[in-house]
Amino acid sequence: MMRLKKINTVLGLMLIVLCIAAGTWGIIRQKTLKNKHKVCVAYVYKYTAGGRGNAGGIWIDYIIEVNGKTYSGSSLYRMSDVSSSTVERYVLHKTLPAIYNPANPSLSSLMIIPRDFNNNGYTFPDSLSWLLPYFKQQ
């Protein structure tokens, strides 16, 4: 019984370390993208709203082309920012701005809401102003 408790403790600690490492890796990737990136055009081909492990979120899947090579990416948006019906009607199968890391183009992020542009040092473009009425928070 005592041996089982020790095993469970070790497994629990390993899980915590793994979660911290994954979180740190994600933060490093985002900082790398924010510090060094180029703007490109992305084609949105799919989205997934809600579901197991994704309550309150919408994953928007897109592709970008860099130097003749295609890369796929996904960006997560909160349902408090944009609804699935908005994505379905106004984002899906559209070309929209994205940023990517020139050294690692698979590291990319879609830019569709004003916060995306602000967080990356850009102003929201007039060419996307037609989307503003469909966002929940501007």
pLDDT, tens digit, 9 for 90 and up, residues 46-70: 998 876 666 678 999 999 999 999 9
Does the pTM exceed 0.85?
Answer: no
pLDDT at res. 114: 92
Q: What is the pLDDT of residues 72-87, one digit of tens each?
A: 999 988 888 888 888 9
Distance from the first to the final alpha carbon of the chain? 56
Query: Which of the four pLDDT bands, split at 50, 70 and 90, describes residue 30?
Result: low
Query: Which of the four pLDDT bands, split at 50, 70 and 90, describes residue 7?
Result: confident
Angle among Cα 67, 72, 74 to the nearest 5 degrees reads 135
Helix (H) or strand (E) holding 47: strand 38-49
In the three-class reduction of DSSP (H, G, I as helix; E, B as strand; rest coil), residue 106 is classed as strand
Sequence-distant (6+) residues with CB within 8 A of 135 are: 81, 82, 86, 113, 114
